[in-house]
Structure 1
């Protein structure tokens, strides 16, 4: 990988699916994510990297998953296994606590909320690409959930579209250590320009975005 730089005015933090169903005690997916999330210090690292981005004046984009309704997917021919499971559990259901943003990780003043994605990619059928380009963004740093699904799919597409892509090892989680290993040690190096820890990203942002 090449030397990492994060140019001021052209770098953005992209936070995927910061919902209660993923991040909160009592969330529908928290029991499956808790072990890995706790082991990497997910909540502390998400808070730290978001605070650093705000302090640096870096734009933060919130990339939310579709909030489910009981009638979703009626007539669909090809649901993915993930879509079928999410529909069965009514993950992030519209109008429920689980479908609300986790306290402190949702949009704040100046943050940009992208249209909800229906699958794993935050680019597919949303305004993410045009919003990034209209804001002059060339470098994207991905955090949030889940490392080997929405993070990986969105980050891969970002690389295909020509963005400089950074994954953050400990500002995401998955349902197993093996899934995290695959995301960061096997698949990530095939497309990401940098795979860093929160501490490393904070160090870069504190020095380079202020330049």
Structure 2
């Protein structure tokens, strides 16, 4: 059970990469995360968290990956392995269904949608830190995809910038159980202030009312 406190007016819920390609049947990446997503109840957990944070009027921030466009990465000096994969597979293509928001997690009025990140961190080369600071945010809850890439990189960066960081074990997924273990058992404890389940987080947020 988490003992962390979450000042509701200074806490933000960061939802990373809620695209159809990741979260919907027929998405290009969904088959790779489906076994773990199904096992942990990822979609239902994200829906439950969405309801709770909106009820509590916690700031909702969408942290999107770069939507692929023709020519992306092709003339780069050294695109990383993930960017090369996106270049060839056209993940999250702009203007295509896979690059649209999963309908259950699309931004609503009042949500913040930050600039798209080219790499794994939602902070690097985007306006995320600036937007959070303008709202006086000190605590971030980071969920979405993938546990060992964009979630971990965004959370590490947040910790370096001085935010209180919460990871949610069953509100993210990865391609392999070993990746989930690394994210939450090996790497996460070196930078995250809290690593909780969806139920534990909801209970902790309820105590703040």
TM-score of the two chains, using structure 1 as the length reference: 0.97
Alignment of 1:74-85 (within 5 A): 74-85=74-85
Moved over 2 A (4+): none
**Shift of residue 74, structure 1, vs aligned partner:** 3.1
Residue 189 in structure 1 maps to residue 189 in structure 2:
yes
**Does the residue aligned with 2:8 lie in a helix, a strand or coil?**
coil
**Does the residue aligned with 2:54 lie in a helix, a strand or coil?**
helix
CA RMSD of aligned residues (A): 0.9
Alignment of 1:32-181 (within 5 A): 32-181=32-181
Q: Distance in 2 between matches of 1:93 and 1:118?
A: 13
Q: Distance in 1 between matches of 2:137 and 2:74?
A: 37
Structure 1: gaps spanning 5 or more residues: none
Structure 2: gaps spanning 5 or more residues: none
**Shift of residue 125, structure 1, vs aligned partner:** 0.9
Map of 1:207 onto structure 2: 207
Number of paired residues?
208
Q: Distance in 1 between matches of 2:88 and 2:74?
A: 13
**Shift of residue 3, structure 1, vs aligned partner:** 3.7
Q: Deviations over 1:44-103 (max 9, x none)?
A: 000000110000010100000000012111321110000100111000001000000001
**Shift of residue 106, structure 1, vs aligned partner:** 1.5
Q: Is the 8 A contact 2:168 2:196 kept in 1?
A: yes
Q: Is the 8 A contact 2:3 2:204 kept in 1?
A: no
**Shift of residue 205, structure 1, vs aligned partner:** 1.2
Q: Is the 8 A contact 2:33 2:173 kept in 1?
A: yes
**Does the residue aligned with 1:9 lie in a helix, a strand or coil?**
helix
Q: Distance in 1 between matches of 2:203 and 2:57?
A: 15
